[in-house]
Amino acid sequence: MSRQQRTEIDAMVRRPRPEGPHSVKELRAGFRAMMAEMIVPAGIRTRNTTLGDRPAVLVEPAGTPKAGTILYFHGGSYVVGSPETAMSLTGNLVVRTGFRTFSTDYRLAPEHPFPAAIEDGLSAYRALLDSGESPSAIAFAGDSAGGGLTVTVCLAARDAGLPMPAAIVAFSAGLDLTRTGESMDTKAGIDPFFTREGMEHTGAMYLAGQDPHQPMLSPATLADLTGFPPMLLQAGTNEMLLDDSTRMATRAREAGVDVILDITAGVPHVFQAFAGALDEADQALDRAALFLGQHIRTSPTRSGR
């Protein structure tokens, strides 16, 4: 275990920041600045494109990509973030798997609250299927709020009568807008990123008055996961959202879904973004890449974008 690396990263993310509620503009600028410090691996190429009716970034290996696609949903509490802020994560998945990744620029709250992000994710998945991509060659992946979208977009796809993707990979997924997990309290102060007040601030922007007690907002406690594809849920012990993943794993298991709950000790929310600076991040991404490689099955036809 890389104790010194974890200590240094914890100190970095705890650097003093202005207190009190921040405007949406300030939140987005701060998140961009923080994620710009993450290491993006060499050996990838990127191109701006569209998927469904939204912009997206196509991330591919520098060489010839393998047949198969990762549909990626970035994190940011449904309020901040973009495909660019998730580039350390998508780039590392591409390098490790050889698959191409479409990172979607879904609509954000408060301008576009629930269910806009889910609608955009479903539109992106539908566009891949319409292009000729086999569902067995598509996996959903995402971090934080985007990890939540891997599940809720899957729910929306099932409700729409679409086939399930091959697999789901979720990094530190936000899966309970009711915020009732025990870790919300037991990890308060230990989590270097979040406070309950901060999550309520951004959560209210996404909810826009909706009751969080519904499957599309709190799938870890309310969703029926029958028929879901295999899931890999990764989280760290130093995060308030830890129990979102542990409860989702229990719910998946009870629904007869293949699920791997992968918990790393002493690391923060979306620790995988620190690949290249934290050994545990690289190891977790290696495990995620192995999981994706085991479940994505190549498609006989595929059209580029």
pLDDT tens string 289-299: 999 999 998 74
For this structure, is 123 an active site residue? no
Question: Greater confidence, 10 or 25?
Answer: 25
pLDDT tens string 129-151: 999 999 999 999 999 999 999 99
User: Cβ(232)–Cβ(288) under 8 Å?
Assistant: yes
Q: Answer yes or no: is pLDDT of 252 > 90.
A: yes
At 25, list the tokens.
Answer: 């503009």
Quick one: pLDDT at residue 37?
93
Share of the chain above pLDDT 70, in %: 95
Quick one: pLDDT at residue 287?
98
C-alpha distances in Å from residue 178, one per residue of 200, 213, 214, 233, 247: 10, 6, 9, 19, 13
Residue with tokens 């595929």: 302
Quick one: pLDDT at residue 18?
60
The residues near 166 (Cβ < 8 Å, ≥ 6 apart) are 135, 136, 137, 138, 139, 229, 230, 295, 296, 297
C-alpha 148/C-alpha 118 separation (Å) is 10
For this structure, is 133 an active site residue? no
Quick one: pLDDT at residue 303?
45
User: According to DSSP H, which parts of the chain are helical?
Assistant: 3-13, 24-35, 87-97, 116-130, 145-159, 183-186, 196-207, 219-222, 242-254, 279-295
Q: Answer yes or no: is pLDDT of 20 > 50.
A: yes
Quick one: pLDDT at residue 200?
96
From 269, 280, 295, 299, the catalytic residue: 269
From 82, 88, 136, 144, the catalytic residue: 144
Confidence of residue 2 (pLDDT cuts 50, 70, 90): confident
Q: Answer yes or no: is pLDDT of 45 > 50.
A: yes
Quick one: pLDDT at residue 10?
78
From 60, 119, 133, 239, the catalytic residue: 239
Confidence of residue 302 (pLDDT cuts 50, 70, 90): very low
Q: Answer yes or no: is pLDDT of 300 > 70.
A: no
Q: What is the pTM of this model?
A: 0.94
Average pLDDT, the chain: 94
Q: Answer yes or no: is pLDDT of 76 > 70.
A: yes
Q: What's the rounded mean pLDDT across residues 209-213?
A: 98
For this structure, is 280 an active site residue? no
Q: Answer yes or no: is pLDDT of 116 > 90.
A: yes
Q: What's the rounded mean pLDDT across residues 169-184?
A: 98
Q: Answer yes or no: is pLDDT of 301 > 90.
A: no
